[in-house]
């Protein structure tokens, strides 16, 4: 993945951390509810192995997605906005340049 070397002020770091945690919490909460729903609907063996496949994919996805290194954060936030785990407004407090980059990337 490409990285962007830019500075993050202390205020921006605080905004970023809060937004990151919020998105993470939302996605995990949604995922847990979905897993419980899928588990509740298990009627045969294939359903159980489908749940296993689903968990394998999600675990891999989540592990890769929530990368809090500052050089990746612009891309991480763009993806979270695109996937609607985060609203761009929740990143208010970041420099305009960063917000513009995130917004542009989130529309790709």
- Ranges within 70-99 binding a second copy (CB under 8 A): none
Q: Which residues contact 69 (CB under 8 A, 6 or more apart)?
A: none
- Residue from 3, 9, 11, 39 touching a second copy (CB under 8 A): that is 39
Buried b (16+ CB within 10 A) or exposed e, 67-76: eeeeeebbbb
Decide: is 59 part of the binding site for a second copy (CB under 8 A): yes
CA pair distance 27, 64, nearest whole angstrom = 14
Task: Identify which range of 13-21, 33-41, 81-89, 100-108 contacts a second copy by CB under 8 A.
Answer: 33-41
Least spacing, CB of residue 22 vs a second copy, in Å: 15
């Amino acid at each position: 993945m490409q990285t962007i070397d830019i500075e993050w002020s202390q205020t921006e770091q605080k905004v970023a951390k809060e937004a990151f945690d919020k998105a993470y919490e939302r996605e995990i909460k949604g995922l847990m509810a979905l897993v419980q729903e899928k588990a509740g609907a298990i009627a045969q063996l294939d359903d159980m192995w489908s749940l296993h496949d689903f968990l394998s994919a999600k675990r891999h996805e989540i592990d890769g997605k929530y990368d809090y290194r500052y050089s990746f954060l612009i891309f991480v936030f763009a993806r979270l906005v695109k996937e609607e785990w985060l609203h761009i407004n929740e990143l208010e407090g970041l420099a305009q340049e960063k917000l513009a980059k995130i917004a542009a990337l989130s529309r790709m």
